[in-house]
Amino acid sequence: MLKGVFFDIKNKFQAAVDILRKEKITLDPEDPAAVKQYANVMKTIRQKADMFSESQRIKHDIDTETQDIPDARAYLLKLQEIRTRRGLTDELGAEAMMFEALEKVEKDIKKPLLRSDKKGMDLLVAEFEKGNKKLGIRKEDLPKYEENLELSMAKAQLDELKSDAVEAMESQKKKEEFQDEEMPDVKSLDIRNFI
């Protein structure tokens, strides 16, 4: 079993390296074109290596961590925990609206809402849809939200790569033998030269 896991990881790593050898990545998180290029490269790597995107990973976490939760309140609390753990912000206040919708439905049915209660869950979904409409969120826009999430993750990763590169160059420049050399612009670095 361990051998199989090792070969699977090795194959995924090799697929990623093969793509990174061919694609140019510009370490400029402030340039939208560089961020989009990096996001596309990472998407290609995930597809070739059969790995989850960030939104797929979140969905997988939700599916696996909530499958045994019987009541709607514990389910929403688990969603809140997953969102917080993943570092996702709720700028629109959708989470509070979801809990308000749950309160309203539980008040109407006069008992805690169980996920197995089809009629109660339909009422909750209808309340969620009202909240989504109020916030301007439409189901057909979900792919756009997913793309925005992937772009924000790509920007954060590029930011981290850039700061790591700058830190490495600055520590190198402190060494006596490199003090006469000028530090290159981070944007000019080509990751393909280092693989």
Is the pTM value of this prediction over 0.75? no
pLDDT at 110: 93
- The confidence score (pLDDT) of residue 97 equals 92
Residue 143 confidence (pLDDT) above 80: yes
CA distances to 132, 138, 145, 166 from 142, rounded to whole Å, are: 12, 7, 5, 36
Q: Mean pLDDT, to the nearest integer, of 166-187?
A: 82
Name the residue range of residue 176's domain. Answer: 1-51+138-193
Asked if residue 156 is part of any domain, the answer here is yes
- Looking at the structure of the chain, the number of domains it has is 1
Q: Is the dihedral of CA 61, 64, 67, 69 positive or negative?
A: negative
Residues with Cβ within 8 Å of 161's Cβ and at least 6 positions away in sequence, in order, are: 25, 27
Instruction: Give the mean pLDDT of the chain.
Output: 88
CA distance 191 to 162: 11
The answer to whether position 74 is within a domain reads no
Residue 13 lies in a domain: yes
The reported pLDDT for the residue numbered 12 is 87
Share of the chain above pLDDT 70, in %: 98
Q: pLDDT tens digit string along 23-81?
A: 888 888 999 999 999 999 999 998 888 888 888 888 999 999 999 999 999 999 999 99
Phi/psi at 71 (5° precision): -110, 155
| Residue 47 in domain | yes
SS3 track for the chain: CHHHHHHHHHHHHHHHHHHHHHCCCCCCCCCHHHHHHHHHHHHHHHHHCCCCCHHHHHHHHHHHHHCCCCEHHHHHHHHHHHHHHHCCCCCCCHHHHHHHHHHHHHHHHCCCCECCCHHHHHHHHHHHHHHHHHHCCCHHHHHHHHHHHHHHHHHHHHHHHHHHHHHHHHHHHCCHHHCCCCCCCHHHCCHHHHC
Q: pLDDT at position 195, please? A: 66
Q: Is 23 exposed, middle or buried (0-12, 13-18, 19+ CB in 10 A)?
A: middle
For residue 55, give the nearest of 43, 44, 67 by alpha carbon: 43
Per residue in 124-142, pLDDT (tens digit) is 999 999 988 888 888 888 8
How many CB atoms sit inside 10 A of residue 32's CB? 11
Per-residue pLDDT at 184 exceeds 90: no
In a domain, 164, yes or no: yes
